[in-house]
Structure 1
Amino acid sequence: MSVKVGDIAPDFTLPSQSGSLVSISNYRGRKCVVLYFYPKDDTPGCTAESCAFRDQYEVFQDAGAEVIGISGDSPESHQKFANKHQLPFILLSDTSNQVRKLYGVPTTLGLLPGRVTYVIDQNGIVQHIFNSQFNFKGHVEEALKKLQSLKEEQD
């Protein structure tokens, strides 16, 4: 079963690159969340995607959203990845792929962990899902477009 637009984003708690535990519910009522699942730290596609989120991070912040990346890598791997590429946002470690399964993130060719981005509003409702293994920058563009339309609806 996978999460769909209009669903309440399933709650979870995972360790971040700093070792602190982060729950998605901590943002409910406070901020939108751009939650992106990616296959692996420091691979070419994942680096391109994460750096695209980094380069637009201030725009996400201005739109009232927090960016959170999730992969199956360890907190230590995330720390190295974040430091190497100066990633200003939270990376969460889902080593058992439990949250990936909870959200129903598909695999590519049955092997490669999928690359899916969810835009979750302040009420915890999934407003947009973008699934593309190879359109790395599309994840950032699609999320920003949706956040801007949500902001316009509120104004």
Structure 2
Amino acid sequence: MKSLRPGDLAPEFALPDQTGCMRSLTALLEEGSVVLFFYPAALSAGCTKEACHFRDLRAELAAVGAQPVGISMDSVEAQARFDGKESLGMPLLSDADGAVATAYGVRRKYLTPVKRATFVIAPDRRITEVVQSEWSMDRHADAALKALGAPVAR
């Protein structure tokens, strides 16, 4: 399956976060836009850099009515360790069987379990931006902010 594109309807999901609380896309969107970022592995160097950049830009995202939500195939326990170590303070969802990654077209068979990809999802579940970059960890949050109409400070 190809990755979803701007204009596509984001697939609904319900997954546990790092505390075990079930989170659905519909419920997350009740608070505004969702910046859903898929990352290959909690606590790895690149994923830590990416997630920390989203953490550091939470206020800017909130100012434009959006919240970051991380998702990987790591267990709930691994997500909890990741959040605890890095003080991420955002939902980190456990897609242990990869069903959501498959639905979003980012599941892999080789290298890492998922592609590094970010989907900016409007409250009506329409995808407004897709960011794919395996090597530029800061690009995901910066491009999401730009897509949401926020200035990106450098």
Same fold by TM-score, threshold 0.5 exceeded?
yes
Higher helix residue share:
1
Please give the alpha-carbon distance, in whole angstroms, between the structure 2 residues aligned to 1:50 and 1:28: 20
TM-score, L = length of structure 2: 0.91
The answer to whether structure 1 residue 97 and structure 2 residue 98 are counterparts is yes
Please give the alpha-carbon distance, in whole angstroms, between the structure 1 residues aligned to 2:83 and 2:107: 25
Which amino acid in the other structure matches residue 81 of structure 2? Answer: K
Per-residue deviation at 1:106? 5.0
Please give the alpha-carbon distance, in whole angstroms, between the structure 1 residues aligned to 2:141 and 2:120: 10
Runs of 4+ in 1 over 6 A off after TM superposition: none
Which amino acid in the other structure matches residue 50 of structure 1? Answer: A
Corresponding residue of 1:43? 44
The DSSP-based 3-state class of the residue aligned with 2:35 is strand
**Count of equivalent residues:** 148
The DSSP-based 3-state class of the residue aligned with 1:41 is coil
- 1:61-103 CA-to-partner distances (Å, cap 9, x unmatched) read 1110011000011111111110110101100000101100000
**Contact 2:32–2:67 at 8 Å: present in 1 too?**
yes
The DSSP-based 3-state class of the residue aligned with 1:148 is coil
- 1:37-75 CA-to-partner distances (Å, cap 9, x unmatched) read 000010000000000001111111111001100001111
* Identical residues among aligned pairs (%): 38
Please give the alpha-carbon distance, in whole angstroms, between the structure 1 residues aligned to 2:83 and 2:29: 25
Two-structure CA RMSD over aligned residues (Å): 1.4
Per-residue deviation at 1:30? 4.0
**Contact 1:29–1:123 at 8 Å: present in 2 too?**
no
The DSSP-based 3-state class of the residue aligned with 1:134 is coil
